[in-house]
Amino acid sequence: EAQVTQNPRYLITVTGKKLTVTCSQNMNHEYMSWYRQDPGLGLRQIYYSMNVEVTDKGDVPEGYKVSRKEKRNFPLILESPSPNQTSLYFCASSAGSRGYTFGSGTRLTVV
């Protein structure tokens, strides 16, 4: 089944403790992206990647890092999480501009 898999689904962590949210797609898509969803703000793009070793900032990149060493994986790294990064995170992938597949989401709480 074609899908985007994110892990974990839920995560509670403390301020400053580094964490990684994994994202993997099995569709051989070149394009991958991370969004955060906050009430009243919709989905805002954090980072995206057009291909392996090619990443770029989205609208809200501060406090996040990404890497794209393989086509299928696009992890989101929070080096020093803060409470304002408490949010619902979605990974997405696409083969082009004709459609995006979203992961199931990761609900992160930073206390």
Partner 1 sequence: AQSVSQHNHHVILSEAASLELGCNYSYGGTVNLFWYVQYPGQHLQLLLKYFSGDPLVKGIKGFEAEFIKSKFSFNLRKPSVQWSDTAEYFCAVIPGGSQGNLIFGKGTKLSVKP
Q: How many residues lie near partner 1 (CB under 8 A)?
A: 25
Which residue, 42 or 69, has its beta carbon nearer to partner 1?
42
Contact by Cβ (8 Å): 30, 51: yes
Minimum Å gap between C-beta 56 and partner 1 is: 9
Which residue, 6 or 85, has its beta carbon nearer to partner 1?
6
Q: Would strands 106-110 and 10-13 be described as parallel, antiparallel, or unpaired?
A: parallel
Kindly state whether residue 105 participates in binding partner 1, applying the rule CB under 8 A: yes
Distance of CA 26 to the CA centre of its chain: 16
Residues 19-78 contacting partner 1, CB under 8 A: 30-31, 33, 35, 40-45, 48, 50, 58
Contact by Cβ (8 Å): 75, 67: yes
- Find the farthest-apart pair of alpha carbons in the chain and give their distance in angstroms, rounded: 39
- Nearest 5°: phi and psi at 77? -115, 130
List interacting residues with partner 1 (CB under 8 A): 30-31, 33, 35, 40-45, 48, 50, 58, 90, 92, 94, 96-100, 102-105
